[in-house]
Amino acid sequence: MRRSPLVALLLALALVPAPVPAASASTGITQQQATELVTSYAHLTAEFYKKVDKQAVLDGARTNVISYLKAHGVADPKIDALHASPDDATNARTLERAVSLAIDSYSTKIGDVVKTKDPSSAIPKLVLYGAKTGSQNITYAAIAGTLGSVKDKYTVFLSPKDFSELNEGLDGTQFGGVGISYAIDDKTKMLQVGNVIIEGPAEKAGILSEDIITAVDGKNIHDLVVGKSTDLQTKVVSGLLRGEPGTKVNLTVQRGGQVLPEPIIVTRAIIQSPSVNLKMLPNSIGWVELTVFGSDTSNELNKALARLDAQGAKAYILDLRYNGGGYLDAAIHVSSKFISSGPIVSVESRAGTNTEYDAENMAIAPRPLAVLVNGYTASASEITAGAIQDSGVGTLIGSKTYGKGVVQTIYRLGDGSAVKITTARYLTPHGRDINTVGIQPDVLAEIPKGADGKPQQIRLGDPANDPQLQTAINYLQGKLAALNR
């Protein structure tokens, strides 16, 4: 079946309702907890991309609850063995009853074992959670155990905190700031401006990539951070640059070796953490780094390519190193900027249904293209790398990718937690299954190792300190030279 992705199918996030067996709260478990437990069981047994052993699922829940209780103050918890039935509704009720009994027996007896503050006593103390927290945590342990039963590292339970952090990682956080990325120079302790967010407050005020910020509001950066740990340095600088939207900050800037005669005044605004960084490299080669495939990555990439095109880019480097993936539809949008037509990826479900997603007729004018990859290039970024390699529109340079060729769907639960389940696998346009295998680059370029045997530290986007990037530049320079002959 061939269709365009009008509805987003997500590699890392899909809030999809599904029919589940009815949950009826027992004595120990609340109605919401019962529903979440039964819903998780239903999604796993119906949606996991391989056939599920239902006895293993019940065993997994029981074993994990027992392990949790032992780790939180119950020396010898008793939970009867659970016996699976061919009927899912029966299994759901069995699971619900077992968890409810565990809550009745142990929810008020569990807690965190902490060292006593009394110096005269070396005996640890058990700080009890209370019935409400204990009940919730036992239910969470049962859900995690059901998911762990399939032995798939991507199929996991996400607490409300885990789920929130996942969303922030994909979609970015918002804060009041100036809109730059920066590095604190090891020697000078000044701020080296990296990426300047397109149309952000710093760009509007005139800050440029490669500028050096020596002071903020008259406070010398060197004096503020020298002698402090890396984490503390970052905290100090972040505290200076961030602030309420609408407030102003004065940046003393050094450009081309000379301090500008007047500070640049930047008016802070709401900043969305970017997923795309860009830079024009020598010989009119545009470098675009994608850090994640998030909800706004496609729009950010459009702006970045338009900016580089306006600056006269004759070739592009798409940097997917250290990009762990994200949304499938974002991968399709990104791939479609370079692939004019044809398939991007096929997604195959447990039932054998194969859905093929095609390029979206939005490609930029063809230019020489190099795609940088490494062992941390995974999931959605491998979809894009594989599609570009199979279509022949670009050349992969670097080292073998991670090898994550399966698709996860996330189902939100009622209290802000969620379950993440592997629901399908994907194939490249040529039908390659890259799961656990990875993608071999067309041009191998490893990071040299130092005297200690570890890979040398690199600075992404800096050809002088990034040998893989320099390899890509050399490759594209050769391509451009051949075109000009």
Per-residue pLDDT of 149-175, as tens digits, reads 999 999 999 999 999 988 888 877 788
Domain match, 118 and 232 both:
no
Q: Which residue out of 59, 171, 390, 466 is catalytically annotated?
A: 390
Looking at the chain, the whole-number percentage of residues with pLDDT higher than 70 is 93
Domain match, 360 and 225 both:
no
Strands (E), 186-304: 191-196, 212-216, 219-220, 248-255, 258-259, 264-267, 269-272, 276-281, 285-290
Q: What angle, rounded to 10 degrees, do the helices at 54-71 and 88-106 form? A: 10
Comparing 59 with 5, which gets the higher pLDDT?
59
Pairing label, strands 369-373, 315-319 = parallel
Q: Which of 225, 247, 272 is the last residue of a domain?
A: 272
pLDDT digits (tens, 9 = 90+) for 377-387: 999 999 999 99
Please, which pLDDT band fits residue 25 given cuts at 50, 70 and 90? very low
Over residues 328-337, mean pLDDT:
96
Domain match, 182 and 52 both:
no
Domain match, 280 and 197 both:
no
What residues does 356 pair with on adjacent strands?
Answer: 2, 346
Comparing 142 with 3, which gets the higher pLDDT?
142
Q: How far apart are CA 386 and CA 396, in angstroms?
A: 9
Q: How far apart are CA 192 and CA 214, in angstroms?
A: 9
Q: How far apart are CA 17 and CA 423, in angstroms?
A: 14
Please give the pLDDT value at position 273.
83
Q: Which residue out of 40, 149, 379, 399 is catalytically annotated?
A: 379
Please give the pLDDT value at position 96.
96
pLDDT digits (tens, 9 = 90+) for 438-448: 999 999 999 98
Domain match, 318 and 292 both:
yes
Number of CB atoms found within 10 A of residue 106's CB = 22
Domain match, 301 and 365 both:
yes
Is residue 22 pLDDT above 60, yes or no? no
Locus of tokens 């969305």 = 272
Comparing 107 with 118, which gets the higher pLDDT?
107
Q: How far apart are CA 243 and CA 265, in angstroms?
A: 14
Number of CB atoms found within 10 A of residue 481's CB = 10
pLDDT digits (tens, 9 = 90+) for 353-405: 889 999 999 999 999 999 999 999 999 999 999 999 999 999 999 999 999 99
Looking at the chain, the whole-number percentage of residues with pLDDT higher than 90 is 74
Is residue 70 pLDDT above 70, yes or no? yes
Domain match, 49 and 128 both:
yes
Number of CB atoms found within 10 A of residue 153's CB = 9
Please give the pLDDT value at position 169.
81
Please name which of 308, 15, 29, 46 lies closest in space to residue 167, comparing C-alpha atoms.
Answer: 15
Residue 74 and residue 102 in contact, taking contact as beta carbons nearer than 8 Å? no
Residue 379 annotated in active site: yes
Please give the pLDDT value at position 119.
63
| H/E stretch holding 323 | none
Domain match, 363 and 223 both:
no
Q: Which residues contact 308 (CB under 8 A, 6 or more apart)?
A: 278, 280, 286, 288, 316
Over residues 130-147, mean pLDDT:
96
Tokens of 329: 């539809």
| H/E stretch holding 418 | strand 418-427
Domain match, 310 and 404 both:
yes
Please name which of 317, 319, 310, 313 lies closest in space to residue 284, comparing C-alpha atoms.
Answer: 313
CATH classification of the domain holding 342: 3.90.226.10
Please, which pLDDT band fits residue 10 given cuts at 50, 70 and 90? very low
Q: Which residue out of 404, 417, 420, 466 is catalytically annotated?
A: 404
Please give the pLDDT value at position 20.
46
Is residue 82 pLDDT above 70, yes or no? yes
Residue 117 annotated in active site: no
Is residue 14 pLDDT above 50, yes or no? no
Q: Of 25-29, 260-264, 375-379, 429-433, which range is least confident?
A: 25-29
Domain match, 268 and 328 both:
no
Over residues 18-25, mean pLDDT:
46
Domain match, 185 and 298 both:
no
Please give the pLDDT value at position 194.
80
Please give the pLDDT value at position 118.
65
Domain count, the chain: 3
What is the model's pTM? 0.81
Domain match, 443 and 307 both:
yes
Over residues 182-190, mean pLDDT:
86
Pairing label, strands 212-216, 258-259 = unpaired
Please give the pLDDT value at position 27.
55
Is residue 19 pLDDT above 90, yes or no? no
Is residue 74 pLDDT above 50, yes or no? yes
The number of residues in the chain equals 485
The parent domain of residue 91 ranges over: 2-171
